[in-house]
Chains A and B, each alone.
Chain A
Amino acid sequence: DTAVSQTPKYLVTQMGNDKSIKCEQNLGHDTMYWYKQDSKKFLKIMFSYNNKELIINETVPNRFSPKSPDKAHLNLHINSLELGDSAVYFCASSQEGGAGDYGYTFGSGTRLTVV
């Protein structure tokens, strides 16, 4: 069974649309994250949630809104999509104690293309 699963794997959409990416982990981890990987492969943290509470919110446009209905799920909703939002978005999770104890387990990524 996949430990951290994201859907969809690919998403192609037009500028101005609103879209969501879902993430679920079955590892029992307390903390989940969203990272954005651009065309140059740079991994940049966007959000971090611990037990459904937002603990990190980097300088991300407020068009991006994460939602964590429970500690096993962290979804990402994006409003008014722009060309610059095109990237691969990775969900990740880590155990109690944070990334400093056991590192991250990443999902397989969602390749978002805005046209």
Chain B
Amino acid sequence: GENVEQHPSTLSVQEGDSAVIKCTYSDSASNYFPWYKQELGKRPQLIIDIRSNVGEKKDQRIAVTLNKTAKHFSLHITETQPEDSAVYFCAASIHNNNDMRFGAGTRLTVKP
């Protein structure tokens, strides 16, 4: 089955700096890679996703990159703000497969 690894487990940045979270996956058949943000005491919420037919996707201050050859993908947050502080999860799954595997999460802290 799919195995997703995520690094770092914790990340602390100064407000305005960039943050990068990296994930690797094991199943080369995986072709859908979402990122979820979970604020303290709340549910995980989808913030951005990427499919294997593209290498990069951007939405305002967040972007994801995908390297299928190396089987890794990354989340980039620019101009971080205190409200970006949360736990971020990467995940991987196969199209039409109801089995999504999550990384272990990264606790991001943005210091004002």
Contacts and interface: CB of A to CB of B under 8 A. Distances in A.
Interface of A: 31, 33, 35, 40-45, 48, 50, 55-56, 90, 94, 97-101, 103-109
Interface residues of B, number: 27
Contacts of B46: 103-105
Contacts of B94: 100
16 contacts: A33-B98, A42-B102, A42-B105, A45-B99, A48-B98, A56-B99, A90-B44, A98-B97, A98-B98, A99-B99, A100-B95, A103-B34, A104-B46, A104-B100, A106-B43, A109-B42
Contacts, number: 75
B98 A56 contact: yes
B104 interface: yes
B87 to A, nearest CB: 6
A85 to B, nearest CB: 20
Contact of B98 (A31, A90, A108): A31
B94 to A, nearest CB: 6
Nearest to A97: B96
A33 B100 CA distance: 10
